[in-house]
Structure 1
C-alpha cells in the first residue's frame, strides 16, 4: 500500500508482491529467443552440457526478474516523492511535488491479469520520469490522485513576512468540481479507421519480415512458385486483378478496424485536477495526464483520405511532457475535433476561422516547389530509359502524370497556407497532402526567427518561425510578405520586437 495521504513520511514502501510474478515472466519472455538459439546450437555440437545449461537458462531470468522487487522502495512526503533502487549502485530519485507535471498509468495485458499498473511521474525535465512498476491498481490510482492534489496544494503556499503575525487560516476550499468529460469513444467513428494510414507502418513491417524469412520457409521454393503462377495464369488476368484488389482492400479494412479498436478501446478524455486525463487501450491500457497549465496549443491534422470523409485528428502541444505532442482524439468527425480543441484552448473559433491568404507570390512558390520535385524524378526516369533502352512513350506518360499531380499538390499546399491571430493565439496553416492547423498561445512564444532564401528575397517573401518550448518547439508561417511577418510577430508579442523595429527604422 502507498503511504496514507494524511500521514506522509511514515517510511519506505515496497512495490506490490505480485511483481514477483510479473518480472520473471517478462524476463523469461525476453530471454526465450536467445536461449532457444543457444540450445539449438549446443544440441548440434555436444549434448553433455544440457543438464547444466537448461536449469541456468530458466533460473537466471527468474532470479533477475525478482531483483527489482527486492531492491525498489518508495515513499511520499509532504513535499517530495522519492524512489530508491539498485543492488550494487544505489540510486535515489526525488521529485518535488510542485514539479510534478504528469502522472501516467499503464497496464499491459499481463499487468491487468495480475491487477497491477505502472506509474510514470513526469517532472518536465529532459523527459526524465520516475517509474514505479508495478503497483496494485487501487494503489496506483490513489497515488495518482494524491500526487495531483498535493501538487496543487504545494503550488499555493501561504507567505508570512518576518516578524508578522501569521494570517488567519484561509477558508476551507470548496469541493473540487466533478471531472468534466470532453470526449468519449463513439463506435460510429470506426468508419474513419480505413482512411487513416497509420496502420501501414505495421503492414510494411510485416511485409519486410516476410521478405527476410520467406526464402527459408519450406513452402516457398522454385517448384511451388512455378505451380502457383501456372494456377493463377489459368484464370483471366482481369479476374485475378479484381480478386487481388478486393482481397487487399478487405484485408486492409480488417487490419485498420482491428487496430483502431485495440488502440482506442474505452477511450475517455476528461478535465480534472487542472489536467487533461486520457484513458484508452484494449490489451494495454494507458492513462495519460497532461497538466493544462503546460498546454500551449493544439494541432488539428486532416490527412488527405481522412479529409475526404470529413475526419480529423487532434493533438495537444505542451511543455514538460515526453515528445511535447500528445494525441488526445482518435480519427473522428472534424466537428468533434474542432469543438474539443476549442474547449481545451478556451478560445472559440480558433480552429475554424478563415486564415489570411499569402497572395499570388506564395502560390507560385508552392507550385514551383512541387514542380521542381517532379522534374527531378522525370530527369532520373529519362536517364534510366536511355540506359535500359526503354520506349520514350513511357517517359512522356510518366512526365504528364507527375506534372499534373505536382500542380494539384502545389495548389493544395497553397490553399492550406495561411495565418491569423485569434485573441491571444497564433494560428498557422500548412501542409501539402495533409491539412494541418496549429494554434499556439502567444504567451508560449519565446522568440521569432525570420529567414529568407535567395528566391524569397527577390520577391519579398519570408518564413516566420515562432519558437516555443511546447510541441515541436517551433511553429512555421511559410512564404508570407516580410512586412506582414514583422507586423504579425509584433502584434502577437508586443514589445518583443521593439528594438528590432527601431533599428530597422533608423537610416543606414
Structure 2
C-alpha cells in the first residue's frame, strides 16, 4: 500500500448526499411501508401502530443514510487515492494511480436535483474491485477525475506534471474547459431515439409484474391458489367464447396479441428513452466522451489508447433498413457490460467515421474472408438432430405415430440453421487487424488490431481432435474474442502470424 495517500487531507462526500440516500431508501421501501400499514389494519392492532410504524421506518432510513455518509472519507495523495470506511472498525483501501483505468461520473434524477454526482474509480477488475464515492458535487467529481488522470499520467510516464484544476474543474457532469475542445462525433436526436426504441421490443414489464406478484402474494386473495376457482373461471370464459361465435373469438385473440405487441413496443421505447436520451459522443483531448440518460445521466470518457477492439452489431429488421450499433471493447467496464456503447443506432457511414478515429481498420472489398470448417457445423447439426430423429422413430412405431413428423421437422430446422451459420460465419486476417463475424439473422462483426492481442490459444475437444478442427481464443484485455470451427492447420498459421506480430511490439512503450 502506498503512503502517498497520507499526503492529502481527509475529505468527506457532500452532506446533501444524506438526503439523496434517504429519499432513495424511502422510495425503495415504499411498498414495504404500505404492506406494513395494510397488515396493521387488522382489528387486533391498535390504531397508533398504523401511524408509528412508517415513522420508525423513515427514521431508520434517514439514520442509515447519515451513518453511510459519516463513515465514508477519501484522501487524494501523490501516488494513490485512499478511501476510508467505518465508524468503529476502520477500513482503508488504497488504489495506486497506475491501477485506475478510468474515472466515470453518473447522475441519478435525485442526485441531479441536489447538483451531486457519483464517482466510480474503474480498475478494470470489475465487481467489488471498483470503488465508488457517492455523492460529491459536480465540480468536485470533475476535479477528482482530472486530478486522478493527470497523476496517473505522471506516475506511468505518459505525460508531464499533474495539473490540479481545483474545485472549478469542468470536466464530467459540467461542460469541458476552454482548453479541452470537444468535437461532436455522434448524437441522436429525439426522432432517431424514438425510431431506435421501436426496434427495442421488450416484455420486461411482465417479468417485473411476476416479481411483484411473488414478493407481495400475501396481499392477494387466497382464491388464486384454489384449483376449483381457476377451473370455474376457465369454464365460464369457454362458455362466453362459444356463445360469442368464431368471429368474435378470433377478434379477441387478435386484440390480445395486439395488446401484447403494444405493451412490448411501449416497454422497449420507454427503456430506450430512459437509457439513451440526449445521447452524445464527443472527441476530446482525453479521447471519446459519452453522455446519455434521462433519469440517470452517465458521463464516461474512453481514452483512445485503451480501445482494444470494435464491435458492430445489428438486428434482423434494422439490418435491412441500414441501422447498426457500435461498441468499443475497453480496459474499463461500462456498468455490467464489458464494452462501451458509442453509437447504439447509426448508419455504417457514421460508424466508419467513429472507428477511423481509433485507427482500427474495417473490412473492405479487398478483405479475404475465410469460412470455418464445414465439419464443425456438420457435427453440431448431427449432435442436435440425431436424438430428435431417434425420437421420431420411436413415435412412428407407437400409437402416437401422427406426431412423428414434429421431431423430424425440428431436426430439419436445426440442420438448415447450421448450414446457414456456416455460410454466415467468417474470419479474416490482414496486416494489422483480425476480423471475425458471427450470427445468422443478427450478424456481429469484431475488429481487433493485432497490437491489442496479448495471447493466442488453440483449444480442441475430443471430437475436434478426431475431426481436425479447433477453436482459437485470443487474449483481449477487457473482452473476449474467439474463432470457432477453424481448420487445425489454418489455426496454427493464424496463431503464428499473430504471435510474430506480438513479439515485434515493445508493449512497455505503449500508453497504458
Please give the TM-score of this superposition, normalised by the length of structure 1: 0.79
Equivalents in 2 of 1:182, 1:145: separation in Å? 22
Contact 1:107/1:118 (<8 A) preserved:
yes
Greater mean deviation of Cα atoms: 103-112 or 405-414: 405-414
Structure 2 residue 193 is matched with structure 1 residue 195: no
CA 1:49 to 1:386, structure 2 compared with 1: closer, same or farther past 3 Å?
farther
Match of 2:326 in 1: 314
Alpha-carbon distance in structure 2 between the residues aligned to 1:438 and 1:157: 29
Structure 1 equivalent of residue 124 of structure 2:
124
Alpha carbons of structure 1 residues 453 and 9: separation in structure 2 relative to 1, 3 Å: closer
- Per-residue deviation at 1:406? 2.0
Q: Could you say which residue in structure 1 is the equivalent of 2:135?
A: 134
Q: Distance in 2 between matches of 1:384 and 1:204?
A: 36
Q: Cα distance 1:367–1:350, how it changes in 2: closer, same or farther (>3 A)?
A: same
CA distance in 2 between partners of 1:100 and 1:150 (Å): 10
Map 1:223-262 to 2 at 5 A: 225-233=234-242, 234-235=244-245, 236=247, 237-262=249-274
User: Greater shift after overlay, 279-288 or 64-73?
Assistant: 64-73
Within the candidate set 178, 181, 196, 2:181 is matched to 178
Q: 1:268 to 1:353 in 2, by over 3 A?
A: farther
For the residues of structure 2 that align with 1:345 and 1:296, how far apart are their CA atoms?
9
Residue 301 and residue 318 in structure 1: after superposition, are their counterparts in 2 closer, same or farther (change >3 A)? Answer: same
Task: Give, in whole Å, the separation in 2 of the partners of 1:437 and 1:446.
Answer: 20
Distance (whole Å) between structure 2 residues aligned to residue 317 and residue 158 of structure 1: 24
Change (3 A) 1:120 1:380: farther
CA 1:497–1:155 in 2, change beyond 3 Å: closer, same or farther? closer
Kept in 1, the 8 Å contact 2:458–2:473? The answer is yes
Distance in 1 (CA, whole Å) between partners of 2:271 and 2:60 is 36
In structure 2, the residue matched to 1:328 is 341
Residues in 2 aligned to 1:247 and 1:53: alpha-carbon distance in whole angstroms: 40
1:275-424 equivalences under 5 Å are: 275-321=287-333, 325-329=338-342, 331-336=344-349, 338-339=351-352, 342-343=355-356, 345-350=358-363, 354=367, 356-358=369-371, 362-377=373-388, 379=390, 390=400, 392-396=401-405, 398-424=406-432
Instruction: Give the 3 Å change call, closer, same or farther, for CA 158–72 of structure 1 in structure 2.
Output: closer
Q: Write the distance in 2 (CA, Å) between the matches of 1:458 and 1:190.
A: 52
Task: Compute the displacement of 1:194 (Å).
Answer: 3.7
| TM-superposition CA deviations, 1:47-70 (whole Å, max 9, x none) | 499387565333222211111222
For the residues of structure 2 that align with 1:33 and 1:158, how far apart are their CA atoms? 52
SS at match of 1:152: helix
Report the equivalent of 2:494.
488
Q: Which runs of 5+ in 1 are unaligned?
A: 1-7, 160-174, 499-508
Q: Deviations over 1:338-378 (max 9, x none)?
A: 4156235413324886452236xx23432442353244456
Q: Within 1, Cα distance between the matches of 2:394 and 2:266?
A: 41
SS in 1 for 2:254: helix
Q: Contact (CA 8 Å) 1:108, 1:283: kept in 2 or not?
A: yes
Matched residues in 2 for 1:22 and 1:192: separation?
32
2:487 is the alignment partner of 1:476 = no
Displacement after TM superposition at 1:124 (Å): 2.9
Tell me: CA distance 1:327–1:19, structure 2 relative to 1, closer, same or farther (3 Å).
same
> Deviation at 1:421?
1.9
Asked if 1:155 corresponds to 2:133, the answer is: no
Q: How much does 1:328 deviate?
A: 1.3
Contact persistence 2:205–2:267 (CA under 8 A): no
The whole-number CA distance in structure 2 between the counterparts of 1:52 and 1:332 is: 51
Matched, 1:451 2:459: yes
Which deviates the most, 347-356 or 308-317?
Answer: 347-356
Residue correspondence of structure 1 range 17-166 to structure 2 within 5 A: 17-35=15-33, 37=35, 44=42, 46-47=45-46, 50=49, 55-125=55-125, 127=127, 128-156=129-157
SS at match of 1:493: helix
CA RMSD of aligned residues (A): 3.7
Q: Deviations over 1:187-238 (max 9, x none)?
A: 33533434345x3445444456558878975697546555545444415133
Partner Cα separation in structure 1 for residue 365 and residue 295 of structure 2? 36
Partner in structure 2 of residue 506 of structure 1:
none
| Pick aligned residue for 2:445 from 415, 437, 449 | 437
Q: Could you tell me whether the CA contact under 8 Å between 2:290 and 2:342 is conserved in 1?
A: no
Residues matched between the structures, number: 468
Q: TM-score, normalised by structure 2?
A: 0.78
Q: Check conservation: 1:185, 1:268, Cα contact below 8 A.
A: yes
Alpha carbons 2:437, 2:446 under 8 Å: kept: yes
The structural deviation recorded for 1:118 is 0.8
